[in-house]
Structure 1
Amino acid sequence: MEIYQRKADLLIALHKAFHKLVLTEYDNIEDCNLDLWKKKLDENLQVNISFRHFNSPWSANKYIFRPFYKVHESQEFGTFYIEYKSYSGKVSKNIYHNTKNYISDIKRKYNDDNHLIQQELNKLLMPNGRFWVSRQSIFDFYLHTGKRYSNLYKGYATHFNLFEDLKRYSTYLNCLSIWRGDNIFNDLKCGHEKEALLTLSWLMFEQEINYGKPFFQQNTNFIMDNTKGLNYRSRDMLMGFINMFYSDTTLYETYPYWNQSSSGINLYPHFGNRNNVGFINLDKKYKKYFLEFNNDQKYKDVYPFMKVNGYLGKFIKLVNESNQNPYFNNLTL
């Protein structure tokens, strides 16, 4: 799990130093003293940090800043960065709107039955009165991959482009090593393979941080719950599609459930409409490539990241010490 522990330690450092920064609004760009903010980061990390300003997602005519941390320099494609967003990203806004729409749906569904309405809506709240989902996306970040994916695949580092990249430059066994958390980068000779696997490692880490069972994570089909016979890890979602692609490319190319661009280009796979298909009811010819990893004997030494070295406790402590998603500050039932 070495590569994931290193990433977690970096994300923790970025969160401690800059969580308040990404939530702070400025009337003028010049009002933010970035030198002071930079000094909040450990000195050995400061050399790789830079900042960019954006229009505030919460207020008109105001600005926010986000840190960009350099994680790789590609001779051919430029700098790879981690952009720490937390609640300032689109994910937190989507979570807020989904919650708001759900509240409206419940009120419409039960119409004038105030008792049932209140009963259902109370499930959304923690004992302290805050919404359970108001802490989701607190560790949201985005991997920028220089010009790699725009030059090679005419797009971004989407799951679809990443799978193509891995198939083209790497092997299934090396993808499996990254999934395990093994640091194999020093053994790789091909720069293209290093960058494809580096991208995979960050996207798998993102799954482990932002999807799972704890209250600050969004739901996933891939959890570890021995009472239900589940022995998954959040990153198994990606590994299942990689397994499918390497094992049966023709079958992978027939997979029907993708979020697509406005021009119909595949971006991110999913498991269909929850009321229609969902992972539980996914066709067995596809599902078997995910079930492969629900094996507590074959992969008993491969853990969900949050079960390693007390990291779950470390992240929960950070959540409890931090503000909630600002979108939820004025949301009531």
Structure 2
Amino acid sequence: MDIKGLSSKIRRQKKTFLKLEELRELLCPDDYDSFYSTMAALQEAGALRPVGSAHDTNGMLPPLRLKYRVLREKEDDTAEIREIRLLAPGLNISGYLEHPALYRKHRDILLPFSEYLKTRRTELKFPMSVNERSFSIWRQEKLLSCAACRSVLRYNGWEGKLNAYATPEPFFDYLCGGGPIGTLLVLENKDTWYTLRRLLMNHLYRRNLFGVRLDGVVLGEGNKAARPHALEEYASFLPGPAPRFYYFGDLDYTGIQIYQSVVDANPGLEIRLFASAYRAMLIRSRQAGTEAVTTSQSKPAGLVAFLSLFDAEESEQIKRLLESGRFLPQEILTCPYLESQLMEAGNGNV
């Protein structure tokens, strides 16, 4: 009977508790006497301990308890303690000394970072992108963005302290040129953005849409524009002062939520709803019809504020549309229609 080998086999199980029948399947005894002897030996070796009431037995002679706790061997932490004491100042050395198991879990990420702090800490004076900093420390450009790395940094008090800046995906845009950038229209969907981009390129002097003079169009790509400070960062790279933004998306609960999220995510910008485009959608829907919502959508918190931007009749029409489970996609304003509404730059009010 190889009790040492059987103890190792049991300790490799992921469960903390094992039922008697699970142990029988694991140990594969020849008969009950052999099974009982093996169980007794495993308890003697410190691999198992019975749990529960002493009356909870299998009813056989000699009896065995119905449930056992797997007892893991205590690991020798000597080597880890030695490594922990050599970590760079500024890391959570006391925490790891109390929890060597956590150090073992963090070790692969922690040791290169500790070496970086010891030998190249001065590099933190100079800003780098997240991926650049990640490669500089770990020779892996994506590691700093992963949850495991952020967890290690958080435990050591270094999260957000590596002087690294995010590099969000750039927005696709078209700027008309020929003067200051005063007003930009953010569009939720690609088709409408491409259509307006094409029209503005083909009609250089027709830049007023529904009474608003446009200096360009930006593709919001759904929630991309709703990331924290995404449009603010985009605007910071434009020449001159930050422009005024208008937003135009699908007329459904999700589209309304995206608009509100874009406003909330960019508090440093003036962002208005392109309400006249939504009015045009309502008018067009009388001939073109509406589309059924195919996914479950919840009423957005900003619905009342959104509806307040329209008159009573329009607001009621929007409410009826949404409550009936239907919506209006941006694409209801087709290229020929938008072209017919695009006027010369001098005819707008903005």
- The TM-score bracket by the shorter chain reads under 0.3
Scaled by the length of structure 1, what TM-score is found? Answer: 0.23
Structure ranking higher on relative contact order (CA contacts 8 Å, 6+ apart): 1
Larger Rg: 2
Scaled by the length of structure 2, what TM-score is found? Answer: 0.22
